[in-house]
Every structure is written in structure tokens, then in C-alpha cells.
A and B are shown apart, each in its own frame.
Chain A
Amino acid sequence: MTTGPTEGADRPTPTLLIVLAWLIVAVPLAYGLWQTLVKAFQLLGG
């Protein structure tokens, strides 16, 4: 866990870290969305 206002003074946040952070939440969301769409198709089309 990173901390503090003094750490890594004035360096911009690495783009890779931003991408990884978004992937951590996007991957489970994409799984949930895909599963939901599959079931929705079964429910409404079956």
C-alpha cells in the first residue's frame, strides 16, 4: 500500500498503473455483463 504526500515527489502517475486499475474493475464487470446478456437471451428468446 503506497502512502503519503512526499512519496515520489511530483512524478506523474504511470499510465500503466491507471490502465491496470481500470482493468481490475472492468474485467469482472465484463464477465458479469456477458453472463447477464447470455441469460437474458435464454430468458427472452428461449
Chain B
Amino acid sequence: MLAFLDKSRSVARPGYSKWLIPPAALAVHLSIGQVYAFSVFKTSLVAHFDSSQTAIAWIFSIAIVMLGLSAAVLGTWVERVGPRKAMVAAALCWGSGFLVGSLGIALGSLPILYLGYGVIGGIGLGIGYISPVSTLIKWFPDRPGLATGMAIMGFGGGALIASPATNKLLGVFDPGFSPDDKNAVANGTALASTFLTLGLVYVVFMLIGAALVRIPPGYAEGEASVQQPGRNGALVRASQAIRTPQFALLWIVLFCNVTAGIGILEQAAPMIQDFFRSDGGTSSVSAAEAAGFVGMLSLANMAGRFVWSSLSDLIGRKPTYMIYLGVGLVLYVLLATVGQQSTAIFVILALVIISYYGGGFATVPAYLKDLFGTLEVGAIHGRLLTAWAAAGVVGPLIVNGFLDAAGEPGRLVADDYHLGLFTMVGVLAVGFVANLLIRPVGEKHFDKEAVRAGSRDAPDQQAAMARGGN
């Protein structure tokens, strides 16, 4: 009955346009990108569960941990079953995550919310994140950066839609909730109903993507594939790559870059309100304006993925990461010291920092390709995303740990963020040093068979691509 989901049934017929693949990928990534708008729920969830900021931050952290783990563990499965089945699985997990989460809110049970949005939804995030990326690389072999940039940019842009839509839905389900109110908090019924609605909408949207996606001719089971070596001729298998110092150093680089950015992203909406709050008083930034700030961060996240990743093609991966980590470090110092002077300074600093965060994600597949070649770059990428999972816990824990010690939500001010921000400066310094230590992979790690097979199969593959996709 579900045979239409099989990889063999989703191979594109001759004449199928490759320009249907980017919107298919975007339908999935724009949906799962909602996770970056989670902070819009945060103040209301803290009030509903009468809990600490850290307890609510765990929902986001669990989702990111599950994203990284499922990408690492299920990467090979996604390649085997193809993008359509993977996208349907992602849609069902992501949608069910919201539905179970909604039940958790309605019952007042934080563990059910952890299970729903965090665990089930997080698995949907991981599968959804990797499934269209490798398909796009296959459809656009001459422009892989542009192709993956489009999809990964969509993940960054999900909050752009989710942030205002969430506030609108909360207002519909709770007439007392006004996003323009400086201290707006939605009730539990509105939170549960909004989760339910978002879950249903995202399932439909992602299934449209699954219906449109196709594998290019030449990539079905048993057919050959072309491998492009790394900068020094490297073609390294995933099992060998994870034993190299280059993988460990790049893991540290990604971990540090993500930890610094995710600490701000997870706390974004309350953070801007706290930075512009007089001691114990009302913030000059409303919930609606804070949600707008979340949307602006999403825009910077999107733009950074495209702009900085493209720049890396010109100046190289290592110098690009020196900018992300080195300049990022200086920007964090400025945010902590002068960020509260005006909303314009705060917003501009945060936007550049988050553009580096997004750029780090978009540049890392190319960094991996440079180091290890394309032989198993998808599987290596999946394993590297465990750094994202670890950072998803550590980043919010650093920021929320200091905030919980500083005082109650709704009464925090800019000074309460200093310790957390300066800790991030140290984290970025570690990543900067790790990036400097990365050298080309030694020849002893190369897969000699793959190098020979890649050269032999190249003409067949190019002919197969020429037959399909316009």
C-alpha cells in the first residue's frame, strides 16, 4: 500500500523539472525551521507550568539533541530509502511532536511536552534536515553550494513565518493575549490549541514537499555514482574520517560556533525585553516587537547561510571560520558591554552574530568535502551534527543557568546576561584555536579503491544526468 513511498518509485521520469526540487526541499525545511521560533512560546510556557527558564529551555535542547542524534544515526537509512519516504517520516514525527506536546500542555505535564516536541519532534527535525540536502546536491552537481544553501536557508527562515503566525494564533485562541502588550502571557488553552494547529499545518505542508520530490536519473539502487575528491585528492570513508584529528577539530569548531549562537537564539524574545527593562520594571520592548526581533534573527540566519557560505568559496573555509569565531568573539564582548545602550546597537550586533551561526552550518558540508571528498560526505556530515546536539544542550544551559541564578523571569535586566555572554567569548576562543589547528587529511586515511572507481564511473554518471532533469 505504501509502495509509492519507495525509492524506486520516486525516480524522476525524463522531462521532470529539477526546479520542482527546491520548493519540495523548502516545504520541509521551512516547516522544521519553526524550532528557531520556540522562544516566542517561552514566557507563556514558564507562566503556564510555573517553572524555571531552564526547565522550559530543556524542551528546545531535547529537540536539538534528537536532531543531531537522529541525523547521525538515520543518515544511512535516509540514503537507502530515498527522500520521499524520509520526508513523510519527518512530517509524521514533526506533526506528532506538536500534537503530543499539545496534550502535555493541556494536561499540565512537562514530561509529555519533552516527549512530544522534544523527542518525537526532534527526530522529525533530524530526518527532515538531511533528507532534501543530499537530493539537492544530486540534482545540482555543478552548483552544490547554491542547492544546499537554498534548503539550509529555508531551515533558517522557518522562524520568519512561525514567529508572527504563532503570535496571531495565540491571540485568536486567547482573546486576552495581545502581542503588543509589554508583558503578554498566553493561557494554557491557547498554547495547546496553537501547538495543535501548527502540528496539523506542518504535516500537510511537508507532505506537499514529499509529493513533489524526485531522485534524479542515475541515482537509483545499483547505479554508479561519481565521487569528487577533497583538496589534496582525499576520498575518505565515514568510519575512517571519524578517527582523524581533522574530524575531532572540526567537531569542536562547529560545537563552539553553534553553542555561542544557540544560546542567544533560544532566549532571543525574552533577552531583548530584558536588555531594555529598568530594574524590576516594565520592558520598553513589547512581546510583538520581541517576536519581530526573532523574525529578524531568522532573516540574518538565512542570509548568513547564503552569503558567508558563498564567501567561503572565494576565501577558503578556514579563513571563513576565523571570521565566524574571531569576529564573533569581539561582537559578543560588544553585546555584553554596549548592547543595552540602544535597541539599534543590540539588534545589529545580534544579527551579525546569528548570521555567523547560520554561516557555520552552511559552510561545514563544503569544509568536510574539502577535507574528506564526497565519498561518504553525507554520512560524515550526519556524524558531525552530533556537535549540534551537544551544543543544543550546552548553549541554553550556560545562558539559562546564569539567568536562573540571577533572578525571576520578567525581572531580569541586561547586567544579568554578562556572565553568560562572557562565557560564550571563551567558548568562541576555543573554537578559533581548533580551527587554526586543522590541516589536510593524511594519505593513509584515503580509500584507494574509491579513487579508482570514481574515475571509472564518471562518464556514465554524467550521461545519466544529461538524460533527465531540465
Q: Which residues of A contact B (CB under 8 A)?
A: 1-13, 17-18, 21-22, 24-25, 28-29, 31-33, 35-36, 38-40, 42-44, 46
In the complex formed, the residue of A with least CB distance to B342 is A44
Residues of A within 8 A of B208 (CB): 24
Hey, which bits of chain B sit against chain A, CB under 8 A? 4, 9-17, 19-20, 23-24, 26-27, 30, 154, 157, 160-165, 205, 207-208, 210-212, 217, 285, 288-289, 291-293, 295-296, 298-299, 343-344, 347, 470
Contact B289 A28 (CB under 8 A): no
Total number of residue pairs linking A and B with CB closer than 8 Å: 114
- Pick the residue among A7, A13, A38 that contacts B17 (CB under 8 A): A13
Q: A2-B211, A10-B15, A28-B30 are in contact. Are A40 and B9 (CB under 8 A)?
A: no
> Which 9 residue pairs are nearest across A and B when measured between Cβ atoms?
A39-B292, A36-B295, A32-B160, A35-B164, A32-B161, A13-B17, A21-B23, A25-B26, A1-B211
Name B23's contact: one of A4, A22, A42 (CB within 8 Å): A22
Q: Which residues of B contact A39 (CB under 8 A)?
A: 164, 288-289, 291-293, 295-296
Q: A21-B212, A24-B23 are in contact. Are A11 and B160 (CB under 8 A)?
A: no
Closest-CB distance, B406 to chain A (whole angstroms): 24
> Separation in Å of the A42 CB from the closest CB of chain B?
6
- Kindly list chain B residues whose C-beta atoms are within 8 Å of the C-beta of A44: 343-344, 347
A22 to B25 alpha-carbon distance, docked (Å) = 11
Q: Are B296 and A40 in contact (CB under 8 A)?
A: yes
Most-contacted residue by chain A among B15, B24, B298 (CB, 10 A): B15
Minimal Cβ-Cβ distance residue in A for B6? A3
Q: Is the CB of A32 within 8 A of B293?
A: no
| Cα distance, A14 to B24, chains bound together (Å) | 16
Q: What is the interface of chain A mostly: helix, strand, loop, or mixed?
A: helix
A35 to chain B, nearest CB (A): 4
The complex places the Cα of A36 from the Cα of B13 at a distance, in Å, of: 40
Given A42-B292, A43-B347, A44-B344, check contact A29 B161 (CB 8 Å). yes
Subset of 20 A-B contacts with CB under 8 Å: A1-B207, A1-B211, A4-B13, A5-B12, A8-B15, A9-B14, A10-B15, A29-B160, A31-B164, A32-B163, A32-B295, A33-B160, A35-B163, A35-B295, A36-B296, A36-B299, A39-B288, A40-B293, A40-B347, A44-B344
